[in-house]
């Protein structure tokens, strides 16, 4: 086995999390650490691209158009020919091809270091080629999704399963470190068509989803380390939106609105398209995945695993969104939902649970995820600012329902706190009504509630 200090370092591009994991283990186990995956792309000596998905094709096209300063290995199903680029056929059946490629690169790098020319580039830079030329080479391959590595050994398979089970733990006990959001000033090439006019024709109407108490915990999630419904633990029942994907998205939204320009926020796992002019976003994965990702605490140092976020401007006619036009949704709807899944029944750090909270106006509930008692909370708060504990008490509901509502309303700028409000206990808006009237309203509400879900 290669001594790790002698290993080459590689950066993996255009791969999903499972492919990254597989490649990491492939290099570690089958290639015996001939190369290891670099924590930071900048530190890598070699760039490895998967060329069989649309996103990775775009990444590779962009890369090859620039000055190439590091050796490039392309993994491709149908072969890939490009000057000075090493192509390996997928799926990688044995480590031999990869080892041979790494050996070849190592020789080149050794020669470079012997020259000590002072030139920082590790290999002779390739002359950039024309965009059309690069795209035509890359688009020879149709986007497909096949495993990068085939014939995974039993040992490797077990390792992957073990890693994946560990990942579940990571999701529950979040432990990845967030890197700075890297905002690229240059327009990264995304080669396909997004038609703004066509987008307007697509109905994006999504009716609100109404959650009742029975499904709340299952759908929103809960935290283990604090009982958010115990007033003596309110002090610790908060979360910091900035430490989660919610904060990253919020920053990205602020940036794109400030610049009034379309942006793309990407991680290894997902892409989020942001369109400030229409105040819409498109998340390229399922809501189930968003929910899982939302719950991962990103800012935490005890396990050094980094998540990089790239925020790129993009021009609207060069983004590939395939048939996803109907998946655009309003930024408000997305942020509201993201905040609910991040909150998991906690309140956001910017809110002091001892002080009254105000609600600027009613949320546009027909387009939002409606958490239990959200309408009642809104009705009460638009009239009188109150502490979250008081609201729960007045409406006789669990504090977690107030916390999650405030988290969502705070995320879209509807809820806030001001020192001018008293913190005295307010009661729910109740007029003196006859028993018949009360019964009538309750029966009507029950009927409507049943009909709106």
Partner 1 sequence: MAQHKIIFTGPVGAGKSTAIQSISDVPVMKTDASAKEIAKDKGASTTVAMDYGIIVLDNGERIHLYGTPGEERFNFMWDILLTGGMGLILLINNSSVDPMKDMRFFLKAFEKFIGKTAIAIGVTQMDKKNKPTISDYHAQFASTNMNPPIFEIDARVKSDVSLLVQALLYSLDSGIEK
E strands along 349-452, which residues? 357-359, 369-370, 415-417
Phi, psi (deg, nearest 5) at residue 202: -85, 130
Q: Which residue in this structure is represented by tokens 């775009």?
A: 58
Q: Which residue's CB is nearer to partner 1, number 116 or number 361?
A: 361
Contact window for partner 1 (CB under 8 A) among 132-140, 168-176, 299-307, 436-444: 436-444
* Residue span 43-82 as binding mask against partner 1, x where in contact by CB under 8 A, dash where not: ----------------------------------------
Choose the binding region for partner 1 from 92-100, 155-163, 267-275, 434-442 (rule: CB under 8 A).
434-442
Residues 249-308 that bind partner 1 (CB under 8 A): 278
Pick the closer one to partner 1 by CB: 296 or 370.
370
Pairing assessment for the beta strands 177-183 and 329-330 based on DSSP bridges:
unpaired
Closest distance of CB 378 from partner 1, Å = 8
Footprint on residues 309-368 left by partner 1 (CB under 8 A): 360-362, 364-367
Contact with partner 1 (CB under 8 A): which of 100, 169, 182, 448?
448
Contact between 208 and partner 1 by CB under 8 A: the answer reads yes
Q: What is each CA distance from 12 to 20, 38, 200, 295, 352, in whole angstroms?
A: 7, 9, 36, 25, 43
Question: Which residues are paired to 8 by β-bridges?
Answer: 35
Least distance in angstroms from the C-beta of 200 to partner 1? 9
CB nearer partner 1, residue 32 or residue 200: 200
Cβ(319)–Cβ(192) under 8 Å?
yes
Answer yes or no whether residue 443 interacts with partner 1 by CB under 8 A: yes
Residues numbered 389-408 forming contacts with partner 1, rule: CB under 8 A = 394-396
Neighbours of 323 (CB within 10 A): 7
> Is residue 190 left, alpha or beta, with left meaning phi > 0 and alpha meaning psi from -120 to 50?
beta
Could you tell me the CA-to-CA distances from 386 to 354, 395, 425, 447 in Å, in that order? 9, 12, 7, 29
Q: H or E element: which one contains 414?
A: none
* CA atoms of 422 and 18, how far apart (whole Å): 52
- The one segment of 32-40, 118-126, 248-256, 435-443 that binds partner 1 by CB under 8 A: 435-443
Residues 6 or more apart whose Cβ sits within 8 Å of residue 126: 64, 67, 68, 83, 84
**Interacting stretch for partner 1, rule CB under 8 A, among 46-54, 126-134, 249-257, 425-433?**
425-433
Instruction: By CB under 8 A, tell whether 442 contacts partner 1.
Output: yes
In whole angstroms, how close is the CB of 439 to partner 1 at the nearest point? Answer: 8
Question: Taking phi first (over 0 means left), then psi (-120 to 50 degrees means alpha), and beta for anything else, what does residue 373 get?
Answer: left
Candidate list 155, 198, 230, 446; residue touching partner 1; CB under 8 A? 446
232 or 436: CB nearest partner 1: 436
Q: Does residue 164 belong to the site contacting partner 1 (CB under 8 A)? A: no
We find the least distance from the C-beta atom of residue 278 to partner 1, in angstroms, to be 7
Compute the least distance from the CB of residue 133 to partner 1, in Å: 41
Q: Minimum distance between the CB of residue 373 and partner 1, rounded to whole angstroms?
A: 9
Measured from the CB of residue 395, what is the shortest distance to partner 1 in angstroms?
A: 7
Give me the least distance between CB of 322 and partner 1, in Å please: 22
Give dist(CA 55, CA 61) in Å, integer.
10
Of 39, 32, 49, nearest to 155 by C-alpha is: 32
Q: d(Cα 63, Cα 135) in Å, to the nearest integer?
A: 11
Site string for partner 1, 188-207 (x = CB under 8 A): ---------------xxx-x
Instruction: With contacts defined by CB under 8 A, name the span among 123-131, 153-161, 305-313, 430-438 that binds partner 1.
Output: 430-438
**Could you tell me if 67 and 126 are in contact, meaning their C-beta atoms sit under 8 angstroms apart?**
yes
Q: How far is the CB of 441 from partner 1 (least distance, A)?
A: 5
User: Is residue 120 near partner 1 by the rule CB under 8 A?
Assistant: no
Site size for partner 1 (CB under 8 A): 46
Cα distances from 28 to residues 34, 36, 157, 180, 252, in angstroms, run: 7, 7, 13, 28, 35
- DSSP, residue by residue, 6-75: G-EEEEEES--HHHHHHHHHIIIIISTTSEEE-SSGGG-SEEEEE-SSHHHHHHHHHHHHS-B-S-EEEE
Q: Which of residues 363-382 bind partner 1 (CB under 8 A)?
A: 364-367, 370, 375-376, 378-380, 382
Residue closer to partner 1 (CB basis): 256 or 294? 256
Given the complex with partner 1, which of 307 and 382 has the nearer CB atom?
A: 382
- DSSP conformational letter for 1: -
Q: CA-to-CA distance for 329 and 338, rounded, in angstroms? A: 13
Return the C-alpha torsion angle 320, 325, 326, 328, nearest 10: 80
Q: Does 38 bind partner 1 (CB under 8 A)?
A: no
Contacts to partner 1 by CB under 8 A: 203-205, 207-208, 210, 278, 360-362, 364-367, 370, 375-376, 378-380, 382-383, 394-396, 427-431, 433, 438-449, 451-453
């Amino acid at each position: 086995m290669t001594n790790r200090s002698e290993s080459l370092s590689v950066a993996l591009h255009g791969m999903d999390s499972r492919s990254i994991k597989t490649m990491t283990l492939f290099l570690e186990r089958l290639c015996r650490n001939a190369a290891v995956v670099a924590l930071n792309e900048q530190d890598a000596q070699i760039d490895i691209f998967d060329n069989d998905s649309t996103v990775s094709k775009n990444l590779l096209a962009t890369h090859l158009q620039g000055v190439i300063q590091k050796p490039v290995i392309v993994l491709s199903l149908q072969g890939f020919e490009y000057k000075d680029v090493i192509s390996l056929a997928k799926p990688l059946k044995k480590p031999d091809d990869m080892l041979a490629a790494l050996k070849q690169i190592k020789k080149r790098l050794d020669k470079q270091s012997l020259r000590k020319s002072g030139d920082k580039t590790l290999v002779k830079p390739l002359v950039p080629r024309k965009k059309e030329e690069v795209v035509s080479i890359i688009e020879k391959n149709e986007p497909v999704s096949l495993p990068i590595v085939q014939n995974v050994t039993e040992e490797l398979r077990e390792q992957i399963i073990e890693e994946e089970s560990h990942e579940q733990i990571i999701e529950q006990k979040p432990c990845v470190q967030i890197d700075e959001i890297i905002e690229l000033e240059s327009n990264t090439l995304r080669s396909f068509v997004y038609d703004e006019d066509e987008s307007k024709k697509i109905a994006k109407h999504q009716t609100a989803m109404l959650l009742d108490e029975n499904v709340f915990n299952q759908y929103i999630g809960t935290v283990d380390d604090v009982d958010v419904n115990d007033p003596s633990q309110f002090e610790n029942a908060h979360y910091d939106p900035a430490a989660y994907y919610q904060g990253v998205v919020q920053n990205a939204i602020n940036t794109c609105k400030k610049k009034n320009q379309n942006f793309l926020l990407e991680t290894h796992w997902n892409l989020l398209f942001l369109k400030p002019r229409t105040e819409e976003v498109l998340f390229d994965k399922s809501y189930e995945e968003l929910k899982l990702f939302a719950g991962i605490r990103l800012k935490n140092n005890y396990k050094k695993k980094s998540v990089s976020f790239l925020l790129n401007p993009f021009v609207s006619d060069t983004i590939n969104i395939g048939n996803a036009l109907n998946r655009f949704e309003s930024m408000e709807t997305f942020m509201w939902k993201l905040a609910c899944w991040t909150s998991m029944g906690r309140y956001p750090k910017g809110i002091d649970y001892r002080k009254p909270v105000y609600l600027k106006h009613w949320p546009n509930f027909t387009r939002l995820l409606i958490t239990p008692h959200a309408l009642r909370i809104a009705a009460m708060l638009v009239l009188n600012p109150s502490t979250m504990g008081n609201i729960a008490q007045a409406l006789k509901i669990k504090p977690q329902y107030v916390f999650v509502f405030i988290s969502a309303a705070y995320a879209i700028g509807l809820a806030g706190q001001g020192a001018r409000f008293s913190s005295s206990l307010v009661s729910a808006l109740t007029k003196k009504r006859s028993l018949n009237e009360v019964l009538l309203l309750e029966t009507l509400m029950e009927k409507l509630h049943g009909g709106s879900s």
